[in-house]
Amino acid sequence: MFSFGLVWGRTHSSVRRAKPGAVEVESTRPMQKTPILALFRTTRLVPHFSRVLDARKPALSLSKGGDFRKIIALTTLLLMLPSCSPRDYLTRRLAADLISASDTFKTPQQFVLQTGVISNKDYISPEYLVLQHHGWISATTTPCSPGLVPPPCWDVLLTPAGVDTVRALIPADAVTRPALSIPVAKRELVGVTGISKQGNLADIDFTWRWIPLNEIGAALYSRDLQYNSTVGFRDYDDGWRVIAHNAPRTGQPLDDAFKTAEPAQ
């Protein structure tokens, strides 16, 4: 592959035999003889660089071209990433995140405690029976107000223990009101159990439970009881969303999903 040039500086006649088995070349210095083997050791071999460069040009060109193609591919990939949203693909994890982040799911459960005259139906409801059992309310029979039939009716009052318990949970000026709205529990998502998709609509089956927020909530709601619900999702231009309210040609909204929830087996 390489061509070498060796300049002797003398004609062939200047080469003569010095010793048996060795050839000597007369040096430019007077009276100095150099063995030819030593001459080859000290002589620089100069390659023909034009051929070396010509041989390397294709390799360098291919290398640069390959690097350039890699840069273009990487740039194209980076430009495509922003166009893909995590909400474009409806997975169980995405469905769980969207359900948990919805306002309907995060809204605390309110229990309205009605004092004063109430119907017998309300007074013997499970919630009022629990409050009676804990000694937070007391009641005496009273004539029914118009519309409260059939008798008997009950005049419900907070007991001293009930006043102390409720006072910390509601605004100070609300204690004397006949209807007391008390935040008692919040929802916790247990998990998504199934996804059924049809076009840009989907039904999501999920399990959830109540987490009590206070003493009254712990008395009314058990965190050990779980519920099954189904909520509708819809695929919009920016990805999938929970259907929070009634809309035409869509699945069940989230607020209705909680109303129709069934205890999990």
DSSP string, 113-174: EE-EEEEHHHHTSHHHHHHHHTTSEEEEEEPPPTT--SSPEEEEEE-HHHHHHHHTTS-GGG
* Positions of E strands within 20-108: 22-26, 33-35
| Domain housing 67 | 56-83
**Number of compact structural domains in the chain:** 3
State whether 21 and 131 are in the same domain.
Answer: no
- Confidence at residue 245, expressed as pLDDT on a 0 to 100 scale: 67
Positions of the chain with pLDDT lower than 50, given as ranges? 1-16, 18, 22-28, 36-40, 43, 45-46, 49-50, 52-53, 59-62, 82, 248-249
User: 216 and 132, same structural domain?
Assistant: yes
Residues 166 and 252 in one domain: yes
Condensed to tens digits (0 to 9), the pLDDT of residues 103-154 reads: 999 999 999 999 999 999 999 999 999 999 999 999 999 999 888 888 899 9
The answer on 175 and 102 residing in a single domain is yes
Strand partners, 198: 201
- Nearest 5 degrees, angle CA 129-CA 207-CA 127? 5
- Among 38, 66, 83, give the residue marking a domain's end: 83
161 and 247, same domain (yes or no):
yes
151 and 242 fall within a common domain: yes
User: Hey, what amino acid is at 106?
Assistant: K
Give me the residues paired with residue 204 across strands: 195, 231
Q: Are 137 and 253 within one domain?
A: yes
236: three-class secondary structure by DSSP: strand
Same domain, 61 and 151: no
Query: Cβ distance 102 to 108 under 8 Å?
Result: no
Model confidence pTM above 0.85? no
Same domain, yes or no: 116 and 229 = yes
Q: Are both 152 and 213 inside the same structural domain?
A: yes
Same domain, 183 and 256: yes
Q: Are 131 and 183 found together in one domain?
A: yes
